Chains A and B, each alone.
Chain A
Amino acid sequence: MTLHKKRLGRYFLCLLFGLMVLLSAITAGNVCGQVSTPSDDDVNRVASQLYCPICDNISLDICPLEACQSWRDLIREQLAEGWTEREIKDYFVAQYGDRVLGAPPMSGLNWMLYLVPPIVILLGFVVLLSKMRRPPQEERATKETTNVDPYFEKVERDLRNLD
């Protein structure tokens, strides 16, 4: 009886193992299928981040030109081959230049585009704060006049009397 139970347990384990192998094979097949046939959404997700090199400010996903269609086809092929978004973008930059990117790359003088505006805003805040902390001109003037040295006050008075 125990032997029979053990045998049944082994069969059950084998069956379970077989099922797992089958399931993983099916899942892998599905994954491969997804990679080999990227959907329009997959293509447009990448295409929307790239700009048509021969148009003015039109992203590849909405560009109606025949040339743009061939670029979208190329993206589809690259996705099917397992290229990442980064690799596709790099390929497009290498082929057509930085103009295909939505934002200029952070290199060379382009850094200024990213650094200068926040620095200017920060400087503006600093100037604004320093102005706000300083008392107004009139207040400063009265403060200065009230803090005049009595000796100088006397000299001033004597000079006025001389006139």
Chain B
Amino acid sequence: MTTSDPPTNQHKRINLWAVAAIAGLLIILALIGIRLLQNDASPVRIGEKPKDFSLAAYAGDVIHTVDLRGKVVLVNFWASWCTTCDEEAALLEAAWQHYQQEKSDQVIFLGVAYMDTEPASKAFLDQYGVSYPNGPDLRGEISKLFQVNSVPETFILDVDGTLRFVKIGAFTSLNEVLSAIDATLALPLD
């Protein structure tokens, strides 16, 4: 008889607390899930468009990739502490000079110093005479877009901002750099 009695006020209060606690827990889990989804940027694949970004160059200007539509953009991640970046820096500078002479309005290089100190980065650029725009990867935002975990890594975007070429590790010859860019330049426009 007593078991079938209607729930007392105390029981009701406890049930309300339980419902509130479960609801709170679900809200917290949902927020964590949303945050994880936001952070879980899957790597950009060839044929996909990475998000536009801005590079605060050491020269003082800010370069927005959204303004570079119509040009092939080479994005190179490097660091002064990286052992293979020095040889590659010389190759990339040679390639940059090549396109400056022939197709300066069609190709742009962007160097992104990955997890480096500004004095060391600037010294590195001076040492290898790098003249194309370079800047730091502030808060690791740019490397996050490309899911860069090591250096050097290079990405080439076509005139439409679509990723067309990825190089993990250093370029080993000037021809390799030129052929990757030329292949992207030769792609038909959509």
Contact = CB atoms under 8 A, between A and B. Distances in A.
A121 to B, nearest CB: 13
Interface stretch (B66-74, B114-122, B164-172): B114-122
B19 interface: no
B32 interface: yes
B2 interface: yes
Given A109-B35, A112-B31, A67 B14 contact: no
A96 B139 contact: yes
Contacts of A145: 2
Contact of B32 (A66, A96, A109, A130): A109
Interface in A41-71: 53-54, 65-67, 70-71
Nearest to A77: B119
Contacts of A70: 80-81, 116-117, 119-120
Nearest to B150: A54
Contacts of B14: 130
Interface residues of B, number: 21
Contacts, number: 46
- Determine chain B's interface SS by DSSP, over half rule: helix
A114 to B, nearest CB: 13
A77 B132 CA distance: 28
Given A53-B115, A70-B117, A130-B14, 14 more contacts: A66-B81, A67-B115, A70-B119, A70-B120, A74-B117, A74-B119, A94-B138, A95-B138, A96-B115, A96-B140, A97-B139, A112-B31, A116-B28, A145-B2
A144 B115 contact: no
A130 B139 CA distance: 48
Given A70-B80, A109-B31, A109-B32, A141 B2 contact: yes
Given A74-B119, A145-B2, A99 B28 contact: no
Interface in A69-118: 70-71, 73-74, 77, 93-97, 99, 109, 112, 116
**7 nearest interchain CB pairs?**
A67-B81, A97-B139, A53-B115, A97-B140, A74-B117, A70-B120, A66-B81
A130 B16 CA distance: 14
Interface of B: 1-2, 14, 21, 28, 31-32, 35, 79-81, 115-117, 119-120, 136, 138-141
Contacts of B141: 97
B2 to A, nearest CB: 5
B102 to A, nearest CB: 36
A96 B118 CA distance: 12
7 contacts: A70-B116, A70-B120, A71-B117, A94-B138, A95-B139, A112-B28, A116-B28
B153 to A, nearest CB: 13
A30 B31 CA distance: 53
Contacts of A123: 21
Nearest to A112: B28
B156 to A, nearest CB: 24
Contacts of B120: 70
A95 B31 contact: no
Contacts of A109: 31-32, 35
Given A112-B31, A145-B2, A65 B81 contact: yes
